[in-house]
Amino acid sequence: MKTSARSDHDATEKRRIRAAEFAWDLAAQLAALRAERGLTQAQLAEKIGTRQQAISRLENPVHGRQSLTTLRQVASTLNAHVDVAIVPDEVLDTYCQRRYLPLIQEEPEEALAQLTA
């Protein structure tokens, strides 16, 4: 059975919106962790052997061209890890709800227990 043009458009739009949400989330995580570690963009850039502009692009969700290798290098420098997930469209909403549950709960341990239950 063929899907309608409207349904295809809606699915494409939903993917585009989710991609933007993930890009904003990644940029915010990088900037927050860098700041938490007490580093400026220039200091982090120096530690990984690049320019401040490269860190600025990583922290810019509109740029959207972060390589996994670079993200891992930055994460390692910040004593952190990169977690990548490939999520099928049909479970994306559930995945996102569960992924962000600890961030929106007042009790992170309780949220973690719910995720692992």
Q: Are residues 63 and 77 in the same domain?
A: yes
Instruction: Supply the pLDDT for residue 8.
Output: 80
Instruction: Supply the pLDDT for residue 117.
Output: 53
Q: Per the structure, how many domains does the chain have?
A: 2
Q: Are residues 99 and 71 in the same domain?
A: no
Instruction: Supply the pLDDT for residue 101.
Output: 64
- 44, 34 Cβ separation under 8 angstroms: yes
**pTM of structure:** 0.71
| Residue span of the structural domain in which 103 resides | 87-117
Q: Are residues 95 and 67 in the same domain?
A: no
Q: Are residues 75 and 108 in the same domain?
A: no
Q: Are residues 35 and 79 in the same domain?
A: yes
Q: Are residues 27 and 72 in the same domain?
A: yes
Q: Are residues 25 and 76 in the same domain?
A: yes
pLDDT in tens, the chain (117 residues): 455 787 788 888 888 888 888 888 889 999 999 999 999 999 999 999 999 999 999 999 888 778 899 999 999 999 999 988 898 989 988 888 887 665 545 555 654 555 455
Instruction: Supply the pLDDT for residue 46.
Output: 97
Q: Are residues 98 and 72 in the same domain?
A: no
Q: With helix as H, strand as E and coil as C, how does 8-57 read? A: HHHHHHHHHHHHHHHHHHHHHHHHHHHHHCCCCHHHHHHHHCCCHHHHHH
